[in-house]
Amino acid sequence: MTGERPSLRASRAKSRGDPGRARSAYFGIDLGGTKVAVALVDEGGRVVAQGRQLIHHGAASLVLDDILACLTSVGVPRGYRPRGAGVGVAGQVRRSDGMVLYAPNLKWRNYPLGHRLRAALRLPVVVTNDVQAETYGEWHRGAGRAANDLLCVFIGTGVGGGVVTDGRLLSGAAHAFGEVGHSMLVAGGRRCHCPASGCIEAYVSGWAIAVRAQEAVRRTPELGDDLVRRAGSVEAIAADTVTEASREGDPLARQISEETAQFLGLGLAGLVNAFNPSRLVLGGGIIDHHPEYVPVVRRLVRRLAQPPAARAVRVVRSALGPDAGVIGSALLARDRKAERHP
Where on the chain is the footprint of a copy of itself (CB under 8 A)? 92, 101-102, 148-149, 161, 165-166, 168, 170-189, 194-196, 198-199, 263, 266-267, 269-271, 273-278, 303-309, 311-313
| CB of 28 or CB of 178, closer to a copy of itself | 178
Min separation Cβ 325 and a copy of itself, Å? 20
C-alpha 203/C-alpha 298 separation (Å) is 18
Shortest CA distance to 135 belongs to which of 36, 295, 281, 330?
A: 281
Min separation Cβ 245 and a copy of itself, Å? 25
C-alpha 339/C-alpha 342 separation (Å) is 9
- Sign of the C-alpha dihedral computed for residues 126, 128, 134 and 140 taken in this order: negative
The answer to whether 292 and 261 are in contact (CB under 8 A) is: yes
Report the residue count for the chain. 342
Amino acid of residue 210: A
Min separation Cβ 202 and a copy of itself, Å? 11
| CB of 132 or CB of 257, closer to a copy of itself | 132
Min separation Cβ 337 and a copy of itself, Å? 16
| CB of 166 or CB of 222, closer to a copy of itself | 166
What is residue 184's DSSP assignment?
A: B
Q: Crossing angle of helices 8-16/60-74, nearest 10°?
A: 50
Min separation Cβ 29 and a copy of itself, Å? 22
Min separation Cβ 237 and a copy of itself, Å? 24
C-alpha 209/C-alpha 223 separation (Å) is 17
Min separation Cβ 273 and a copy of itself, Å? 4
Residues 6+ apart with CB under 8 A from 82: 8, 12, 25, 26, 27, 40, 76, 121, 123
What backbone phi and psi angles, to 5 degrees, belong to 35?
Answer: -150, 165
Min separation Cβ 135 and a copy of itself, Å? 14
Min separation Cβ 167 and a copy of itself, Å? 11
| CB of 108 or CB of 263, closer to a copy of itself | 263
| CB of 79 or CB of 102, closer to a copy of itself | 102
| CB of 98 or CB of 178, closer to a copy of itself | 178
| Residue 145 half-sphere exposure toward CB, CA atoms < 13 A | 9
Q: How far is CA 278 from the centre of its chain?
A: 21
Shortest CA distance to 31 belongs to which of 39, 22, 42?
A: 39
C-alpha 43/C-alpha 141 separation (Å) is 11
| CB of 186 or CB of 234, closer to a copy of itself | 186
C-alpha 118/C-alpha 125 separation (Å) is 6
C-alpha 285/C-alpha 209 separation (Å) is 12
| CB of 16 or CB of 299, closer to a copy of itself | 299
| CB of 93 or CB of 252, closer to a copy of itself | 93
What is residue 202's DSSP assignment?
A: H
β pairing state of 279-283 and 149-155: parallel
